[in-house]
Chain A
Amino acid sequence: MAEQNDTVLELKKVTKVFNQGTINEKTALDGLSLTLHKGDFVTIIGGNGAGKSTMLNAIAGVWDVTSGQIVINGADVTRLPEYKRAVYLGRVFQDPMNGTAATMSIDENLALAARRGKRKKLTWGVTAKERERYRQMLKELDLGLEDRLSTKVGLLSGGQRQAITLLMAAMNDPDLLLLDEHTAALDPKTAAKVLALSEKIIGENGLTAMMVTHNMRDAIAHGNRLIMMNAGRIVYDVSGEEKKNLKVQDLLDKFEEVSGGTFANDRMLLG
């Protein structure tokens, strides 16, 4: 490859059209290209329907993309089904209910994640040795869950479930961590906790991560790179010192420039 060796993700002109050929046709991703390097922590912002979640779903393989190529750690995964891409990815969803199996216990959920992408066998789904390890991991979380290993996850609060999903996502050092507005459904206090935990887990494990958020302050405060999306394209991409010095107002101005710009043009036409 011509790229540097530390390239984790490459999106090459990825396009996704929903309901192609119908009256509801919508181009959600429009020739999107993006390269992530090892250790990058990218925050992604943009208005509703900008394609933020769609981009993460395209990477995760929720459906096939219409055109373009997706490469993770040098492997072309464009045609790989979702469950086969899981070996590269850790994912946390917006809805805390989505990341865990409610009818299974905490240790069983963690054990599933520990076996992510591995061939399932007729050996025990969770061993005593693992349980001890999970107890330690939960202790570090400091949510009082270390003594509730056999509690069904469905009985936990949204914040607790999201924290467990984070632990699960970070297990086995995934090549890429996808956080899809994973604090949006939580109350502000819990959201801040989960966000701090995300930051900690990413930092400690040196993970490469993408985090979609609605909160511009969070987008500036976290990560080393920031992307703004609009109409299925990346319209703004900053990193390093430039990102550190960003203010919310800068983002608002930029946002107006890309989305409001067209609005102004429409107004002019109509006027």
Chain B
Amino acid sequence: MAISHNTIQQLGDYRDVQLQLAGREVALELYWQMLRLRRIEEALHEEYHPADEMRCPIHFCIGQEAVPSALSLLLNSDDFLFSHHRSHGYYFAKGAPIRELFAEIYGRKTGASGGLAGSQDISHPASHFYSGAILSGAVSIAAGAAFGFQLQKKSQISVAGFGEGATDEGAFWEAVNHAGAKKLPLLFVVENNRYATFSDQLKRQNADNISERVQAFGVRSTKIFGNDAPLVWKTLKGEIERLRDGDGPALVESYTYRWNSHVGPEDDGFNKYRPTEEMDFWKRNCPIRLLQEKLFEAGWIDEATIADQEKKISQEIAECFDFAKSSDFPEVSDWNALNFGCESPLADALLGDEDSTKFNPLQNEAKLAPY
């Protein structure tokens, strides 16, 4: 049966996690990374109100830890990753410094974007991580990066991480068309969490079949149960390897679910856009819990190791909060300099300064032909 949001729930309780897809070392690392991301998001979620010191919209990714954690193990530091407003998981996936994420959300000078962008527009250029809130905009930029790598015969790949909502956009299909036409080294990762804010995919699209549609453009695709972390890792690994061998582009549609509201810690359930049974299904099939069960069965982890890791994670989070809260706020500066660069070293090196006021205005304008 083809996976779709409606068919997934018939699975009841998912029991198919196979540790051997990842092997011991990777399976453990996936677990620790997912746990770390979960705790980071929970801590931010918890601290948001009533302190009200994080004064920017945050789109939490609790429940969607598998893809970012898998990518964190698979991407090289010089690969590019572009994401949407639900950015923290992808920021994490690129190994960008978490304390700069916290400082950014707190609007501090030490933030990844100096407090200018916030959670939904954060970037960390040194880690080649970029995000933005306008749906699918970053997918198009990712296509351009892939195009740049291909043109320069570089070995890096470009990854676009987005939700199924972004696939409503024309810009998305323009990117799919170009990627297919040029065989770009571009990996599209759709985290299909069913809802664009409160809007069900099936209210907006003919069918839950993004993966099928992109194939017509020459983009191969795989759809998977996105809370099975070893499966997510194995699938992404296979596609990333093929991309590095010049066999692109590819799309992986990972079916998952956000536990929290669309934005912020407030409950948006009053919009009645998703049934309780659906949430129950996804919470029962939490990516961390599914993997943890298997790791226990295999005897690869125990309570003591988890407690030890939890302690390390708590310490890291406490340090990140300290760093953010003790950092200075940015000062009001030169607005022009924030928006325009004043140096142009390459132009300085290559171009001479010339000027001329000469102009003979007694010339006819070009007569336009029909074309």
To the question of whether A and B form a pair in one complex, the answer is no
> Which residues of A are in contact with B by a Cβ distance under 8 Å?
none
> Which residues of B are in contact with A by a Cβ distance under 8 Å?
none
